[in-house]
A and B are shown apart, each in its own frame.
Chain A
C-alpha cells in the first residue's frame, strides 16, 4: 500500500473541509473495498479522511413509516437490529447476506453505496424500496443515485450522512451469490409499497435498476404467475467469467419469481 496522510474527522463538516481542499483525498468508511484496493496499489489517495469516529453518522432509528440508517452503520448492526427486523425484515436479511461475518462487522451502508459496486447488495434495496440518500448537501432519490458502474450522483467531496427507507407493506430479497466472493451475481428486491410494486435489481447491469414491466404486472396481480412470459433483455447486462449476460437475464426472471413467491 502506498503511504498517505491520515485524518480522523471529528464531524461531517470537518471531513467535508478536509476532502474539499484535496482532490486526491478519499473518504474512509468501513474500508472493505478501499483498503484492499489500496493494498493492490490500484488506488493511491494522498490523504484518507476517516469517518468512523463521527458518532452521529452511525445508528438506526424508526420513525413512523421510515427507517433511517446512519452512513457508517455496520452491516452487522442493520442485520441484528430488532427495529429493522420488525419494520423491513427483507432489509435486515439483505444486510445479513453481505460478505462474511467479519466483513459485516466493519462494512458500512454509506461506504457500500458511495462505492456503487455493480455487484453490491445494498443498491437493490435503495432502488427496490425507493430509499432516499441523504448527504451533507442535499437529498438524492434512490432512483437517481446510481449513474453507472462505480459511479453515483454524488458530487466531488459530497458525503453520505444517512439513508432513509420508507417502510413497505411487504418486501423480499432474493440473492444468487457468487459462491466464492458472496457478491450477488444477481440480487432482486421486490417490494409492495403504498405507491405500487417496485422491483430493484443489482448485479445484473452496470448499476442497479428497476424493471417497469415486472412492476406493472405485479401491480395488477401480485403472484408468481404474473411474471410468466416477461423476458428480460440480456442486451447491456454484465458479462464476465462468473456468468454470461443471458444467464444473468435468466437469473433476474427467476430471482424476481423467488422473491415474489416468498411473500405472495
Chain B
C-alpha cells in the first residue's frame, strides 16, 4: 500500500505516492528525476548519495522517503546551477577535485557540511578526517581536500 509523502526539495514543495520501503534516494532520483544524487555502494558507506536534510548531510540510501515528510531536503541540484555554481562546486572544478565525477555530488554535499561545522577551525587535517564518510575510487583525495579548502574560502 502506498503512502503519500509531502516534503520540500530544493525549496519546492513536492509530493508523491511511494511504497513504505522506498528509500529517499530513489524518491529523489525516480519520482523527482533529480539524478545528480548517486547510488554508489547502497550500503551506507560510500557517501555518493549524500543530501542535506534540514541543512545536515545524511546518506539518502539509509533513510526512508516517508521520513522526509515535513522536512527540507537539498540535493546537488539545489545549491547552484550552470553559470552560477555554488563556491564549493566551483572549487571542485577549479582544483580538479574530480576525475570520473561519480562521487562528486556526495563529496560536495558532505564538504559543505564540513565547512558549516568547522567555520573556526577548518584545516587540511579536519577536512581529511571528516571526509571519512565519502569514498573516491578514481584517484585519491589530495585534490578533493584542496577543493574543499578552496571552496571554504569562498563560502
Q: Please give the residue numbers on chain A whose beta carbons come within 8 Å of chain B beta carbons, in ascending order.
A: 1-6, 8, 28, 31-32, 35-36, 38-39, 48, 50, 52-53, 76, 80, 99-103, 105-106, 182
Contacts and interface: CB of A to CB of B under 8 A. Distances in A.
Contact of A50 (B57, B59, B67): B67
B153 to A, nearest CB: 21
Contact of B63 (A1, A8, A76, A106): A106
B58 interface: yes
Contact of B59 (A8, A48, A102): A102
A44 B62 CA distance: 16
Contacts of B114: 101
Contact of A36 (B44, B47, B58, B134): B44
Nearest to B62: A35
Interface string B1-38: 10100000000000000011101000000000000000
Contacts of B59: 102-103, 106
B60 to A, nearest CB: 9
Contacts of A32: 44, 62
A8 B58 contact: no
Contacts of A102: 47, 50, 57-59, 110, 113, 133
Given A5-B1, A100-B47, 16 more contacts: A1-B21, A3-B20, A4-B20, A4-B21, A6-B64, A8-B66, A32-B62, A36-B43, A39-B42, A48-B64, A53-B70, A99-B133, A101-B130, A102-B110, A102-B133, A105-B57
B117 interface: yes
Given A8-B69, A99-B133, A106-B63, A3 B19 contact: yes
A105 B56 contact: yes
Nearest to A1: B21
Contacts of A52: 67
A3 B21 contact: yes
Contact of A2 (B1, B21, B113): B21
Contacts of A99: 133
Main SS of the interface on chain B?
A: mixed
Given A3-B19, A5-B20, A8-B69, A31 B63 contact: yes
A163 B103 CA distance: 37
Contacts, number: 76
Contact of B62 (A2, A6, A31, A182): A31
B20 A48 contact: yes
Task: Name the residue among A38, A102, A182 with the largest chain B CB count within 10 angstroms.
Answer: A102
Contacts of A36: 43-44, 62
Contacts of A48: 20, 64
B132 interface: yes
A182 B133 CA distance: 10
A103 B44 contact: yes
B96 to A, nearest CB: 24
B133 A103 contact: yes
Nearest to A179: B132
A39 B63 CA distance: 11
B122 to A, nearest CB: 14
